[in-house]
Amino acid sequence: MTLPAPVSRRSFVVASVGAALALGVSSQAQAQAHARGRGPFGRYGSPSARLDERTLYVHPGGLGDHTTVQAAVNAASGSGYTLVIAPGTYRETVSVSVARTEMTWVGASGEARDVVVVYDNAAGTPKPGGGTYGTTGSATTLVQADGFTARDLTFANDWLRADHPGISGTQAVAIKVQGDRSAFVGCRFLGHQDTLYADSMALGTFARQYYRDCYVEGDVDFVFGRATAVYENCHFRTLIRDDLTGAPYGFVFAPSTAGANPRGYLVTGGRISSEAPDAYYKLARPWVPSSDTTARPMLTVRGTRMSAGIDAVEPYTNMSSGFPWQDQRFAEYRNTGPGAVVSVPENRPQLTSSEARSHTREAYLGDWTPWKGC
């Protein structure tokens, strides 16, 4: 089979914002904003017409309060700040500490492609002073605060295996989210391995996260972690790989849900597409970390269309033979598409209608109702 030529992920990020990474600004988006008479921050005011004292403006060319996202985060010394981020490419790592609760980031143009936070560390990237970053340290963005919300932004890690053949730690996280009540609406998450790390601050902390109308792409375990997370109307895309000659190329989900947590990952009303040949991707594999061998990974996928890129015959596999996927909490309900065909029933556990009633966003998120305010 002749495969299509792979597209460089770095090139894809550049194209998505309409400007070279070094330029750091989407000229098309800026021109459109100015044409509407709203300036680079659209309908969200400006430093001279601030929405309120807890709204800060970020602009790569100096038209805001800060030129980097991290500088704005540092200035938001307390709870309830909003960062309005102008179109541009922000090549930096960003960390939101636990003290900066109820923070909101807004992409000013309303288009996630226009506002990109990106860096290129991997787990095996050498750190200044010695050692390597590790998976968590590779994250372009780290969110530890509760009550974080992001709208219309792209979070990316454009580290490429082909550029670093000597590095074996190829995990490269776009964002790691650990806080409770974290919501992402209309966002994009770009990377290869370990793109979106939906986790919690501690083993006994059941952090709730909500993703709506988002786009996530990658190859190996690119949605993973132990959070209680709902992915509603989201698009997951599996990438082509030129470093492998056969299946599987990778795995979409790798939950590591704590055994005591009754809720893991819920995917509802979404779709899974693929650049790869048919059946070259597994839907999921369970991650039982060495730090928590009592984990019982949980994933429910319902009402979701799966392309032929998903292996319909054997959609699940093991990460470790000692923790077979059959012993975990994997289930499906009323999925469609060629990748969802149930040809070997024992390989695709299905919920009954009665069981499905307990696998809803309301059941997973409890008294938190982010969909009403997003």
Is the Cβ–Cβ distance between 115 and 64 less than 8 Å? Answer: no
CB 121 within 8 Å of CB 180:
no
DSSP of 331-347: EEES-BSGGG--SSGGG
How many angstroms separate the CA atoms of 83 and 71, rounded? 11
DSSP type of residue 59: -
* Residue numbers annotated as active site: 194, 221
DSSP 8-state class, residue 35: H
At a CB cut-off of 8 Å and minimum separation 6, what does 329 contact? Answer: 257, 264, 296, 297, 298, 299
DSSP class per residue in 216-233: EEESEEEEEESSEEEEES
Distance, in Å, from the CA atom of 123 to the CA atom of 224, rounded to the nearest integer, reads 15
Judged by DSSP in three states, 325 sits in helix
